């Protein structure tokens, strides 16, 4: 990154973080992605802790991006496209509060954009059920274990979608 470039951070929970991370990594202007855990009560949780449904964390992807190359609204579009925001605490076969749909905003501008985007999704007619996505302030992000980082890419896969 040159001294003129600046980066911003966006954080999204949209089910299992492997496929969501892979989708964000394809977007020009995304500088880096890191999977991890956010929104819970336990400090420095492990994957096993989060899967125990006792920590309250969501599986999330933290996206570092260049706002001169990709708009936050474009990242929101990827977020909506990568999961079903009408499923409460699940995505497909994955069930639990760690799979909830959530936008962790890092600024008032991100909050406003996320709320407007959610309203547009609700009004679009695309979803038959109400959107349950949470839009909440960013909290402490805990990086997931190394084997979760770029999981699909390391295995030569582009998606973990079934069907």
Kindly report, residue by residue over 96-149, the tens digit of the pLDDT. 999 999 999 999 999 999 999 999 999 999 999 999 999 999 999 998 876 567
Copy the structure tokens of residue 61: 């992807």
Catalytic member of 16, 30, 61, 76: 16
Would you place residue 3 in the very low, low, confident or very high pLDDT band (cuts 50, 70, 90)?
very low
**What's the CATH number where 31 sits?**
3.30.1060.10
Copy the structure tokens of residue 1: 């990154």
Identify whether 1 is part of a domain.
Answer: no
Residue 22: the pLDDT is 87
Q: How far apart are CA 103 and CA 135, in angstroms?
A: 5
Say what percent of the chain tops pLDDT 90.
72
Count of alpha carbons within 13 angstroms of residue 97, beta-carbon side: 12
Q: How many domains does the chain have?
A: 1
**Annotation says 160 is catalytic:** no
Kindly report, residue by residue over 51-104, the tens digit of the pLDDT. 898 999 999 999 999 999 999 999 999 999 999 999 999 988 889 999 999 999
Identify whether 2 is part of a domain.
Answer: no
The set of residues, in sequence order, having a beta carbon less than 8 Å from that of 137 and lying 6+ positions away, is 104, 105, 111
The three state secondary structure string of 11-71 is EEEECCHHHHHHHHHCCCCEEEEEEEEECCCCCCCCHHHHHCCCCCCEEEEEEEECCCCCC
Q: State the pTM of this model.
A: 0.89
Identify whether 159 is part of a domain.
Answer: no
């Amino acid at each position: 990154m040159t001294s003129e470039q600046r980066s911003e951070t966006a954080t999204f929970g949209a089910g299992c973080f492997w496929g969501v991370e892979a989708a964000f990594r394809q977007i020009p202007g995304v500088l880096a992605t890191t999977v991890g855990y956010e929104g819970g009560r336990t400090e420095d949780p492990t994957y096993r802790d989060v899967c125990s449904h006792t920590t309250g964390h969501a599986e999330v992807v933290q996206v570092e991006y260049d706002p001169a190359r990709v708009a936050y609204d474009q990242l929101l579009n990827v977020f909506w496209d990568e999961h079903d925001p009408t499923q409460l605490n699940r995505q497909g076969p994955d069930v639990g509060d760690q799979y909830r749909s959530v936008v962790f905003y890092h600024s008032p501008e991100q909050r406003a954009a996320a709320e407007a985007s959610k309203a547009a999704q609700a009004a679009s007619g695309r979803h038959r059920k109400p959107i349950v996505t949470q839009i909440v302030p960013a909290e402490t992000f805990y990086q997931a274990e190394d084997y979760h980082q770029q999981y699909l890419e390391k295995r030569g896969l582009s998606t973990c979608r079934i069907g």
